[in-house]
Amino acid sequence: MATWSAPGKVFLFGEHAVVYGKPGVAMAIRPRVAVTVRRVKNPAPVRSPYIDECFRSTGVQGSVYIRSQLPSSSGLGSSAAVTTATLAAISDEFGLGFTKDEIAERAFAIEKKVQNGRASPTDTYVTTFGGIVLITKGSKRRLPPQSLHLVIGNTLVPHSTAKMVEHVAQMHQKHPAIVNPIMDSIGAVTTQAIKCMNKPQQLGHCMDVNNALLEALGVGHPALSKLVLTARAAGAFGAKVTGAGGGGCMVALCPKHAKNWVAGAMDATGAKSIITTIDTTGIRKEKDG
Ligand code: PMV
């Protein structure tokens, strides 16, 4: 038996624009998913296509037990976390000796397959290595870790990443003269944000600008806007949609002393808040049981 866990993630800057070759910044966050893999001859069928694919691609058989602190399908990277933790546990249990790089690559291939080709390596890379990651055209680089105090607001409004990516693609096709400059601006905000990662006030302002640009792309939602405004009014440095939008989650950057207040204000609107900060570990082995 082997148990491994992996963290969730938030997109701090650049979602959607990253699909158009602009830089993006994502950060691993504290809530984790833990997966126990046990060698068994005739395992019960699993319900997750991600886990199915982990076993199929490694050619081994086993049972899995998952414990998750991450809400699924909310843009917090739970499928990537489940996939990397499962691969790490399989590698450990069956002595396959996968490196972190191999786990990140294999997990990306699995996400891509399960999601019909629509996946960026962001989630699988961030959850494997932890920390803050800058994604640029074809490359991924870890940025120096920062202890950012974040409050995530889950609207509990279901959303589909594939649909939102498709929506932006259609808008891009119809109105390239409008959408291209928005993508350029998001890229510029991300580049600016990288220079002020340790200046929370400036960083918060960058988040606000990024949010306005995401709304201009049509990936906002009234429930997200409400939470973004609530967080700012309660004292956040800045707040924005995180991930694909159209529902799902937003993220607020807060002064340390204000995070409980911001979370409370968000919960009072009917959302589900998560107070969190950076995870710098990525996948890790856990005690079994
Ligand atoms: O909703 P999430 O966290 O899976 O983020 C999607 C981010 C996009 O930029 C919209 C797509 C991608 O694969 O990068």
pLDDT tens for 44-66 read: 888 899 999 999 999 999 999 99
Q: Does the residue 63 lie in any domain?
A: yes
Q: Specify the CATH number for the domain of residue 79.
A: 3.30.230.10
Of 97-106, 127-136, 154-163, 173-182, the one with minimum mean pLDDT is 154-163
pLDDT tens readout for residues 89-139: 999 999 999 999 999 999 999 998 998 777 788 999 999 999 999 999 878
Indicate the average pLDDT of the chain: 95
Which of 146, 170, 188 is the C-terminal boundary of a domain?
Answer: 146
**Ligand 1 centroid – CA 244 distance (Å):** 5
Q: What is the pLDDT of residues 257-274, one digit of tens each?
A: 999 999 999 999 999 999
Of these residues, 123, 184, 267, 279, which one is catalytic? 123
What is the C-alpha radius of gyration for the chain, rounded to an integer number of angstroms? 19
Q: How far is the CA of 81 from the centre of ligand 1 (A)?
A: 14
Are residues 136 and 236 part of one domain?
Answer: no
SS3 of residue 37 by DSSP: strand
Whether 165 and 218 map to the same domain: the answer is yes
**Residue 129 and residue 100: Cα distance in Å, rounded?**
7
Domain assignment present for 282: no
User: Could you tell me if 112 and 159 lie in one domain?
Assistant: no
Q: What integer pLDDT is reported at residue 72 of this predicted model?
A: 83
pLDDT digits (tens, 9 = 90+) for 185-209: 999 999 999 999 999 999 999 999 9
Final residue before a domain boundary, out of 106, 126, 146: 146
| Mean pLDDT for the stretch of residues 140-156 | 95
* Cβ of 16 below 6 Å from ligand 1: yes
Statement to judge: residues 197 and 110 lie in one domain: no
123 among known catalytic residues: yes
User: Domain holding 166: CATH number?
Assistant: 3.30.70.890
Higher pLDDT, 72 or 178: 178
> Is 215 inside a domain boundary?
yes
| Residue 20 included in any domain | yes
Residues 138 and 179 in one domain: no
The answer to whether residues 107 and 187 belong to one domain is: no
Residues 18 and 119 in one domain: yes
- Which of 112, 146, 180 terminates a domain? The answer is 146
Q: Are residues 107 and 237 located together in one domain of the fold?
A: no
Between 11 and 118, the more confident residue is 11
Answer positive or negative: Cα dihedral of 15, 19, 24, 26: positive
219 CB near ligand 1 (under 6 Å): no
Q: Residue 283 falls within a domain, yes or no? A: no
pLDDT in the model for residue 138 = 78
25 belongs to a structural domain: yes
Residue 287 lies in a domain: no
Q: Which of 27, 83, 122, 163 to mutate to test the pocket of ligand 1 (most atoms within 8 A of CB)?
A: 122
Ligand 1 within 6 A of 75 CB? yes
For residue 44, what pLDDT is reported?
86
- What is the predicted pLDDT for the residue at 289? 63
State whether 9 and 141 are in the same domain. yes
Rounded distance, CA 100 to CA 94, Å?
Answer: 16
Report the distance separating Cα 132 and Cα 54, nearest Å.
26
Number of domains in the chain: 2
- What average pLDDT does range 233-259 have in this prediction? 97
pLDDT at 202: 98
pLDDT score for 41 = 85
CA 161 – ligand 1 centroid, Å: 6
Using a CB cutoff of 8 Å and minimum separation of 24, what contacts does 192-195 make?
Answer: 193/12, 193/13, 193/25, 194/23, 194/25, 194/134, 194/143
User: What pLDDT, on a 0 to 100 scale, did the predictor assign at position 74?
Assistant: 85
Cα 234 to ligand 1 centre (Å) = 27
CA 84 to chain centre: 13
Structural domain including 49 reads: 2-146
Same domain, 8 and 129: yes
Same domain, yes or no, for 102 and 29? yes
Lowest mean pLDDT among 1-5, 72-76, 143-147, 268-272: 72-76
- Residues in the chain, total: 289
| One domain for residues 208 and 127 | no
Decide: 235 and 254 in contact? Cβ < 8 Å. Answer: yes
Q: Is 286 within a domain?
A: no
